[in-house]
Amino acid sequence: MTMSAVATATPAQADPVWPQVVGGTPAAQGEFPWMVRLSMGCGGALYTPTLILTAAHCVSGTGNNTGITITQGAVDLQDPNRVTRQSNYVYQAPGFTGVGGGKDWALIRMSQPINGVPLLRLATDTSLHNGIFTVAGWGAASEGGGQQRYLLKADVPFITDTQCQSAGSSYSSLIFDDMICAGNWTSGGVDTCQGDSGGPMFKRNAQNEWIQVGITSWGIGCARPQNPGVYAEVRFFATAICNAAATLGGCQVPPGGISVSNPGNQNSTAGTAISAVSHTASGGTAPYSWSATGLPPGLSLGSSTGQITGTPTTAGTYTVTVTASDSSSPVKTGTTSYTWTVDPAPVPGCSQTNGTDVSIPDNATVESSVTVAGCAGNAGSASTVAVNIVHTYIGDLIVSLVAPDGTAYVLHNRTGGSADNIVQTYTVNLSSEVANGIWKLRVQDAASADTGYINTWTLNASGSAPPSCTGTNNTDVTIPDNTTVNSTIAIAGCTGNGSSAATVPVAIVHTYIGDLIVTLVAPDGSTYVLHNRTGGSADNINTTYTVNLSSEPKNGTWTLRVQDAASADTGYINSWTINL
């Protein structure tokens, strides 16, 4: 459950709504393997290997979201063997206006799947709406208490909609199809409470399988007599949840169907062979035959192995759907879908940019790489590394540049305390390093509680910025409502025209990118529209655009022009780079 919108101090009025397991007992390790804990203080359950089902009130809107950490596989949240994942997208039920208005469900997609773990299937009818349910969570064990380190479970009896609606004014607007109630009506004492929001209410079916019947939503207080817990009624939303899940990688497989593992979104580079991407299937009758649609050109899937291999040839973003068919008659099939991004082949030159976001989970080390090719000899003694990292506590971070031979150069070592974000260009003596090869930006989060992501970074191995024919502007430029602003980069010392595959990594912080028109303006005034009011209500632009600038001389002042063409939302240009 969650708190009501307004907490009141008067005893005669309804107290806050709190969800948590009150009157519970410790759950055994592995007893509920599909239970997850979400870093914003909610619970959830594995719907598919890549999707978490939780409450709508636990998230804020639909769109890209890399800020949620998912913990699974341990009843103890401090267990060193726990499994953690980072979110990359959130889908909130359309029409959700608050717990009292119903539709309290949401899906969270993880950046990498949790494979080999049983999933919690959803009820699709009312046959289980009776008897005793089980609830579980890490929420408070008493009303107003603190969150728990260990997973608690409890049994709560079913309460009819009519009886639940009679519980008082707060329950009078109960939506019968949308909500289901449970708790000890007469004596109270057992309930979910604050911190259990989004977690499942479940029971065993006739086949002894756990089935999710509800999602912890709201209630008055915790475990009070005649104030039962209210849960989103899963069977009523099962089809809508499945339809939403299908757009995020796949719906839950029904009993007797086939489940196909999802390797998560893939990223590769045109002209560079990939490491094999494998898929596995469960359910049905082995062996399986495999097929795929939407593969990037140059890649193929083994019909008997389910493994994708090859060398992508064409840059772009592709939606890949992999299908497994079993050996039974009639044939059963299962599918999984994900996005595959192929970056352009590196443009020969001493400067390269990686504009792909890389999540930095708590207490983890991640890397982002660029490939330098066609740059003669060693790197320069005044090489530069322009770094843009979004993080809420940069004192947690150790940032290093790793040369192709493995030598590490520390750029940032846990300075800055509680300041947000690293937007800085570092000068590094790389004269002992061969310029060509794979360079990495390594970021270690060395303390708990804060997370973020690598936004973009650029290595200029030549040692002098202007002749590299690449420039970066890291100065923030505010984008007021209904205005046009500019940010400029001066290029000098280069010869000839730009490349037919020039790149423009753009990082714009804005709360509604559907308002924005983003244009690159060449020194002669020619314009190249990069983004034209697409993306709707999504937050932020973190994209590398490829532009044909072969008709434009490199030298001169280049401008990133950003127009806010609609009311209500604002933001700022964080950084941008032009690589000619």
pLDDT for 360-392, tens place per residue?
A: 998 899 999 998 887 878 888 888 899 999 998
| Mean pLDDT, rounded, for 457-475 | 74
CATH number of the domain that residue 48 is part of: 2.40.10.10
Residue 476 burial (C-beta neighbours within 10 Å; 0-12, 13-18, 19+): middle
Same domain, 330 and 222: no
Same domain, 317 and 359: no
Catalytic residue among 87, 111, 170, 197: 197
Residue 16: inside a domain, yes or no? no
Query: Given a cut of 70, is residue 195 above it in pLDDT?
Result: no
Residue 355: inside a domain, yes or no? yes
Query: Given a cut of 80, is residue 123 above it in pLDDT?
Result: yes
Higher-confidence residue of 263 and 274: namely 274
CB of 242 closer than 8 Å to CB of 211? no
pLDDT for 90-116, tens place per residue?
A: 999 999 988 888 999 999 999 999 988
Q: What percent of the chain has pLDDT over 70?
A: 91
Eight-class DSSP state of 125: S
Residue 423: inside a domain, yes or no? yes
Query: Given a cut of 80, is residue 7 above it in pLDDT?
Result: no
Same domain, 136 and 171: yes
The amino acid at 536:
G
Catalytic residue among 4, 15, 87, 104: 104
Same domain, 43 and 125: yes
Coil vs helix vs strand at 57: helix
CATH number of the domain that residue 278 is part of: 2.60.40.10
Catalytic residue among 4, 15, 57, 217: 57
Q: Which of 174, 202, 162, 35 is nearest to 101 (CA)?
A: 174
Sheet of 266-269, strands arranged across = 266-269, 333-343, 316-325, 289-293
Same domain, 197 and 271: no
- The pLDDT value recorded for residue 10 is 25
Same domain, 463 and 524: no
- The pLDDT value recorded for residue 272 is 85
Residue 10: inside a domain, yes or no? no
Report residue 8's pLDDT band, with 50, 70 and 90 as the boundaries.
very low
pLDDT for 212-263, tens place per residue?
A: 999 999 887 665 778 888 999 999 998 899 888 888 888 887 666 787 877 8
Residue 246: inside a domain, yes or no? no
CATH number of the domain that residue 431 is part of: 2.60.120.260
pLDDT for 52-79, tens place per residue?
A: 999 999 999 999 999 999 999 999 999 9
Same domain, 451 and 540: no
CB of 13 closer than 8 Å to CB of 68? no
Same domain, 301 and 426: no
Same domain, 461 and 476: no
Which of 320, 343, 366 is the last residue before a domain boundary? 343
Annotated active-site residue 60? The verdict is no
Eight-class DSSP state of 402: E
Same domain, 313 and 353: no
| Domain count across the chain | 4
The two tokens of residue 539 are 């937050």
Residue 9: inside a domain, yes or no? no
- Across 107-116, 124-133, 174-183, 454-463, least confident range: 454-463
Please enumerate in sequence order all residues whose Cβ is within 8 A of that of 232, keeping only pairs 6 or more positions apart, or say none.
55, 102, 103, 104, 105, 178, 179, 180, 214, 215, 217
Dist. CA 332–CA 253, nearest whole Å: 11
Residue 251: inside a domain, yes or no? no
- The pLDDT value recorded for residue 409 is 96
Q: What is the CB-side half-sphere exposure of residue 252 using CA atoms within 13 A?
A: 24
Which of 468, 483, 514 is the last residue before a domain boundary? 468
The amino acid at 405:
D
CB of 215 closer than 8 Å to CB of 199? yes
Annotated active-site residue 197? The verdict is yes
Q: Which domain holds residue 181?
A: 25-240
Dist. CA 22–CA 31, nearest whole Å: 19
**Helix H or strand E encompassing 233:** strand 229-233
| Mean pLDDT, rounded, for 261-269 | 83
Report residue 505's pLDDT band, with 50, 70 and 90 as the boundaries.
very high
The two tokens of residue 334 are 């299962």
Dist. CA 313–CA 60, nearest whole Å: 38
Residue 2: inside a domain, yes or no? no
Q: What percent of the chain has pLDDT over 90?
A: 52
Same domain, 522 and 476: yes
Question: What rounded mean pLDDT belongs to the chain?
Answer: 86
Q: What is the CB-side half-sphere exposure of residue 153 using CA atoms within 13 A?
A: 17
**pTM for the full predicted model:** 0.49
Report residue 468's pLDDT band, with 50, 70 and 90 as the boundaries.
low
Same domain, 83 and 202: yes
- The pLDDT value recorded for residue 143 is 55
Which of 309, 343, 377 is the last residue before a domain boundary? 343
Annotated active-site residue 87? The verdict is no
